Every structure is written in C-alpha cells, then in structure tokens.
Amino acid sequence: MDRENNAASVMSGAIASARRGIAHVFVRDLTLKAMLGVHDFEKLEPQRVIINVDLTVRERNEPLEDNIHKVVSYEKVVDHIRQIVSEGHVHLVETLAEMIARECLKNPYVLAARVRVEKPDIFPEARSVGVEIERRKDIS
C-alpha cells in the first residue's frame, strides 16, 4: 500500500478506495454555538457555526470484528470538535478549521482531513460564509 498516494487521494477527489485501502469517515452539518469572530459584536455571545469534516482513513489489515476500537470513530471526531469549540473565543474561521484538522490528524489512521467551517448568520443575503481547508500528514 502506497501511503503517500492514500493521503493524496483526498486531493484527487477519490476519498474512499478499496484499491488503495482507504475509507472515508465524515461528519455533515454539525451545528454548534461558538465564540468566533473578530468584530466586537461577535465577542458578546456565541453564534451558530456549521462544521463539515471529511477524513481519509487508512484501513487496517485485520478483520473489523464489529469492534468500534478498530475504526476511526465519528463520535470521537464530534466530541473533539465540541471540546475545541468549548475552549473559548477564536478570532478566525481559518484558525478553528486548522485546530479541528490538527486534532483529526493526531489519529494514526487518519491520513488527510478536509474541514469546512461556516457562519450562517453573518450576511442576510448569503446562506453562509466560511472557509474550507485540507491538511494531510507529511508521510515522506
């Protein structure tokens, strides 16, 4: 298995691949209240954020055995995101996205993370604004 190709597969759009031995773990539209923003009004009370995460995960070469300890748990991903958001004010959506990606990449089986953070209540003319980043492990 070529681990560099596995991590690069997120960038090519082929997130899950039996040939490469990778799976796709994701969280869709996780909506939380966060202290986020650079403006004074954004520092007064939490605002809604919508978070999406896509993880490229190296599959193990062993039977799954219906055991949660043998997978990258989306429940743990959500718990980590909740913890990060609860730790206090962050100025930039880019910073929050980086914090989430960094935490996801701590898992030895996660090869790459794509994180989108949206603020849906900023402009009445827009459904949302935000940022999407993609980070991968340096496995060279």
Only one residue has tokens 């954004």, namely 42
Distance from C-alpha of 70 to C-alpha of 91, rounded to nearest angstrom: 36
Distance from C-alpha of 23 to C-alpha of 88, rounded to nearest angstrom: 32
Q: What is the pLDDT of residues 49-82, one digit of tens each?
A: 999 999 999 998 877 788 888 889 999 999 999 9
Mean pLDDT computed over 12-20? 76
22 versus 12: the higher-pLDDT residue is 22
- Among 26, 13, 98, 101, smallest CA distance to 57 is for 26
4 versus 110: the higher-pLDDT residue is 110
Question: What single-letter DSSP state applies at residue 137?
Answer: -
Instruction: Tell me whether residue 31 is exposed, middle or buried, using C-beta atoms within 10 angstroms of its C-beta: 0 to 12, 13 to 18, 19 or more.
Output: exposed
Mean pLDDT computed over 9-25? 76
Q: What's the pLDDT at 66?
A: 86
Mean pLDDT computed over 8-15? 55
Model pTM?
A: 0.88
What domains appear along the chain, each with residue ranges and CATH number? 3-136 (3.30.1130.10)
Helix axes 93-104, 74-86, angle to 10 degrees: 140
Catalytic sites, residue numbers: 119
